[in-house]
Amino acid sequence: LCQELERLHSSAPAHEAWFTDAAIEEAFGFRRRELFEEFDARPVASGSIGQVHRATLSKVGARLTGAAPGTRVAVKVRHPGVCDSIERDFALMQAAAAMLGRLPGLAHLRLGESLEQFAAPLREQVDLGREAYYLHQFNYNFRDVAAVSFPVPHYPLVAPGVLVESFEEGRHISAYVAQGPGAPFNSTLAIIGAQTMLHMMIVDSLVHADLHPGNILVRLHTLGGRAGERLVRGVRGALRRAGAVLKVDLDPPAEWLTQPRIVLLDAGMATSLSAEDGRNMCGLFDCFSRLDGRGVAEWILRFSDDQQSCADPEAFKREVEENFRANAEADMYAHGNESNGAEALAHVLDLCRAHRVNLPGHICATVVTTLVLEGWSHDLDPAHSTLAEVQRVVAAARGGWRAWLGTVADANVLQRIPSFDEPVATGGKWDPARLFSWNH
């Protein structure tokens, strides 16, 4: 079932070519052949919202966008009828939520309010003009981060139904995840994933909310550009020749010669966090880092503040605290909670449901994004999983220079960690893999 559902990310049914041509002409006032010198009729990928075609800009398209003629681009076209289908589905769900909300046992769930919070990012996702806006914002936020990039929209070829952006090469990160821990580049990729989440959540307060592996590409980069590539080829050739003479394998590992970078696609779903949200998230992960179950529960309850629907907050705190204590006694949090962070967070969400704890939609989206990242980063390298690094950096912000050496975070992240009353004692571990994962 999971494999079949996974295909919907990039292998959903494609619409007909005539609709693509009509959508382009309606959006920009030019025929497809006028804007694009080459245009692959077969889409590179087709998802639930739209499909993507590979193309090259014509002289007209280049003149409009300021790019060079022949520039390779990706043309994203929204599927026909998507907006109507979404509105129809939400109208039916709103009617059902209104009826269920009248039942005494379900009134506390605020189904109508939750549905509206869920609907907002989906409505934004079908507006490709909104996606272009988020891409512009993410590119600006990560302008100084070499390890992470996003497609660049080609204005003015941006409309609600069609988006022209830079074509990004690379392998899907799922190919690296499938190799498991210990494979080349996997530790570095896990670190980059953690750094990216920290940067979005703590520095930018804008989180890409659709970070499944199908939306993440990996590119390998040789340090030093072309000169570095020539040097690498020379060194590798010399080592191979020496190895042939000595009859030993002297070919250096790939990680010594290149570094991975990631490209994040499909930024149509994004979640903004307020300063208070950021403080609450930091407090939540701070308590996770100290295995403070009661503190975890208290920070969760703060997310909804006056609108909290939990009938017995003290019982919720007590059960979360008991859950953490039981797991700690069973040694489930060994090695800094690197192996079971996702399960612990997922179980806390189950307790939220059982105790009718209300969480705002944008907070749920951020937590779910963290869990998705935790899933593939843990498969890449459990020691550098996303949740483990989030916990580590919150502790490192107040743990002195030894703890700072033990975190992947850059100065921007550490400076924005809020201060709390409880001191944190933590011992950092020197990890050279972190040196070249972010700004190189």
Pairing of strands 216-222, 171-172: antiparallel
Non-local (6+) Cβ contacts of 88 within 8 A are none
Q: Which residue, 341, 298, 290, is CA-closest to 316?
A: 298
Query: What is the DSSP annotation of 205-247?
Result: SEEES---GGGEEEEEEETTHHHHHHHHHHHHHHHHHHHHHHT
State the DSSP H helix or E strand holding residue 221, giving kind and residue range, or none if neither. Answer: strand 216-222
SS3 assignment, position 330:
coil
Q: How far apart are CA 350 and CA 118, in angstroms?
A: 19
Would you say 119 and 97 are in contact if contact means Cβ atoms under 8 Å apart? no
Q: How far apart are CA 37 and CA 218, in angstroms?
A: 28
Provide the residue type at 421 as one letter: D
Q: Which residue has the tokens 């996003």?
A: 150
> Out of 40, 127, 204, 210, which one is annotated catalytic?
210
The pair of structure tokens assigned to 356 is 């009718």
Handedness of CA 433, 437, 439, 440 (dihedral sign): positive
Non-local (6+) Cβ contacts of 181 within 8 A are 187, 379, 380, 381, 382
Would you say 254 and 187 are in contact if contact means Cβ atoms under 8 Å apart? no
Q: Which residue has the tokens 């988006």?
A: 163
292 is catalytic: no
Q: Which residue, 233, 189, 179, is CA-closest to 211?
A: 189
The pair of structure tokens assigned to 41 is 């009729």
Measured between alpha carbons, how far is residue 273 from residues 183, 252, 270, 344, 365 in Å?
A: 35, 44, 10, 23, 11
Q: Which residue has the tokens 């963290």?
A: 370
Residues in the chain: 440
CB count, 10 Å around CB of 282? 22
Q: How far apart are CA 6 and CA 12, in angstroms?
A: 10
Task: Report, as residue numbers or ranges, the catalytic residues.
Answer: 210
